[in-house]
Structure 1
Amino acid sequence: MIISNSKIVQVCNVSTSCQKDQLKSLFSCIGMIKEIQLYPDSDTLTSTINGKVGYIKFDRIDSVHGALNMNNTIFIDKPLIVSQVFENNMPDETDAIIYCAPLNPNITLLSGGPTWPSTVINRLVGQPPNTFIETIDPELTGRNLPPYPLLSGTLDISKFEEIRRTTFSDRGMKNDMKTLVIRCFLCHWCGLFKNYQNHLTKNHSNPFTNQSNNSNVAFQLRSSIGKFYENSKNVKILTTNIEQILSQTSRDQLSIEEKSPPGKLFQQKQDFIVPCNGILLWKIDNIKNQLNDMRSMITSPSFYTSPDGYKMCVRLYVNGNGIGQSTHVSIFIVLMRGNYDAILDWPFDFQVIFCLYDLTNQNNHIIESFQSDTKSISFQKPQTEMNNGCGISKFIPISVIQQDNNSYICDNFTYIKVIIRKNPIPTCILPYVMNIDPALPMHIQEEMIETAIQKHKLRPLKLTLTLKSSSI
């Protein structure tokens, strides 16, 4: 299970005879490996240690998914225990050695691991002292493939199944590949790997005929992986486009320039510490009286995207503005002249998020967002005290906010939260973001948001990679 954004996996219960290159060879088929460590090394290995522990850092987070599927795989003489490392830092030997303690000597396969097919029969053949364990697999027989090699009759009966499943990363693997069943990617032929080259030479005149069997299999793998990443890229592009569409569903409603803005700035009087992190939590007092005055226009205190960043405020029209006039409450972001405008990048290019809080436990917040239009005059460098506002003319119906006992007004005040983001938040996780406890330190809130964004990015990449070959 993925628990963080770390690209490092821990591999416990590794055979004491395993070398770093062998472990790397096993996991390199999953994805590009940036770094690998195996503890303890041969110089510090003692008889009290029953298994080594390895750490593998992949180039991509999605490779971690594949690595976790290696859990319970028998490698050399032990089932591997694969898990994700929470932190994205490679542990040193001092931290890793605690995972090298002896395990239960009776362990074969972990709970939930693969099981031996019920159709496979193991029996004792021969006469003492020359007895052997024979394994009969109907699938091998049906394919006219060689049977499993005989095992010694003196072998502990509880160990032979584990040995049958064992993967050996050595030269013998090349010999075993001769019995690999492979499907031709140019026709419907299916047969042994060792006969594949003859099939290509005899039936297909193509650029791959003069290459080795390994090259043809590698071509299939590279081709499939290439298509996988191409499809993944297309999915990411499609997801980005969908998010942009969702966040700008109606140009008639979102990112509309303010009509007839006031000639000067009117700010609500209140005790206020100026935010310098791009987040404004605005408490509006005496809101019922404001609603009764249908000409009312309320301006928030100013705030900044950073201590040396863009200066802005929020303007709220109780009776609407522009296309929301008399039907909706309208809300606009207003860029103001700041002390650091001369060294800032223009035009202003950020995501703007508005949220009117539901003050009950229903969490039915009113949330709208848009990406600033860099061609709009509203987001150019201010030449006067403030620019025209730009935002949402139809933020919330007036009829909803004027209802008695509505969920957005409590004790004659309401809360509006404004978030300015350089890296946009996907629309679908905005409700989660608005439910994060504002009392948490900002770095904790940001970590929670980034974790949610990463989970959202991973969700659409559930593509299946299918190779046109099979093994027994």
Structure 2
Amino acid sequence: MATTMLRRIVMRVLFEKRIVQQFRKPFLCPYCHEEHETKEASPDRGIARELNMVIIVCYLCSWNGSYNDYLNHLKDMHANLECADCHEHFSTINLFEEHRQELCIHRSMPCGLPNCANSIKWYDMQAHYVTDQHQYSLIMIILQYISSNHDKSVITNRSNIIIRELMDIQENVNLVFSIYEILLKDSDRLKTELSQIEILLNQNSSETKKLEECNHENEKAKKELCDCKNCLEELLETTKRDIEEIPSLILDSDATVTLRFNYPNSSLFSLDSSKFRTSEYGYIFTISVRSTNEAEKWYLSIFLTLYNGEYSNLLSYPFSFPIHFVLWDQSNKQQHITYILKPDPNASAFMRPSNEKNEEFCIKNLCSLDAITDSKSAYVKDGVFFIRLFIDFFNVGENPFQSENYLNHNEFISSKSMLTE
């Protein structure tokens, strides 16, 4: 092993020496033929540009033209110089010598070792270094070098340098191996994590499928709910239309109507009646019974509203017929509370409605609120009270509730019979 290492050392020294000598060889300029220590000369491009502007006449024939064309002409017509190794032709001696000395890969070169091959092809030089002839010549030089009285300190220093280099290489190798072991561990860990990730991905994939199925079911349920909602909306619209089509209350043959209200057991309330008509094609009204406060006292007030009906254009306005409001006494004592409204022809509440309805007309303070809030009230029975209306179309001045037929009739006195009605 020591012989092999020494052989490598000597080969390296000789090779470096040969390379240095080769680079220190003087350079011969192909134009002026002047020798230089290094190849520092380079063609002048300015001259080449100027030559391209000059018409040149061939010295070998009658051809003339530009400089570039002249070079091509020489190469095509007068390339008489042939490389003996690669058989490439050249028109000038300078190009030919440059090719032979530096460019031709088939040129022959000396080996550099004494007693070795005289000339070797340039492309065979690497293969020649491992031939038996070259190795034999190298060994002979080594033996001569060792047998001579050469200063061994040079070899020792060189050996120490090589040993240090080898130690550095060994440290680098150890470092690389330690890093390699870390990378191996990381690789194993990453493989484990990869397998876990694949498992999680499979689980997520299955869960995603389940979620998609649930989403599909939810979409189906949502669609069913939407259909149900649409059905309910249609049913609601139908119900609204049915409610609108429900015939309003119409005054009896004696021009009276009875309105029923549920008492809310509260001092603050507002109760609306259903619409009622004076006739099938007559005026449309509603009343609202509310609790009102004035001067720190509570009263029962009635608000009358005139509506715009489908036959309003056939009716005469302003509405001018007296209306009798009666809070009905359910105790058979006939102590009804009556208010007679004589419409003001100038009041907007009784003009022809231009919108759905006119503004309300307030009958303030019909009676004290105690009349219905008192636990012993004669006007409230079983949580119900009644307000009866009479519209005096013929200006008789007396409401039919005051006649003997009404006074002796118990149909409207009993709240039970009214509830049944």
Q: TM-score, normalised by structure 1?
A: 0.32
Higher relative contact order (CA 8 A, sep 6+): 1
Question: Rg larger in 1 or in 2?
Answer: 2
Structure having the larger proportion of residues in helix: 2
Structure having the larger proportion of residues in strand: 1
Q: TM-score, normalised by structure 2?
A: 0.36
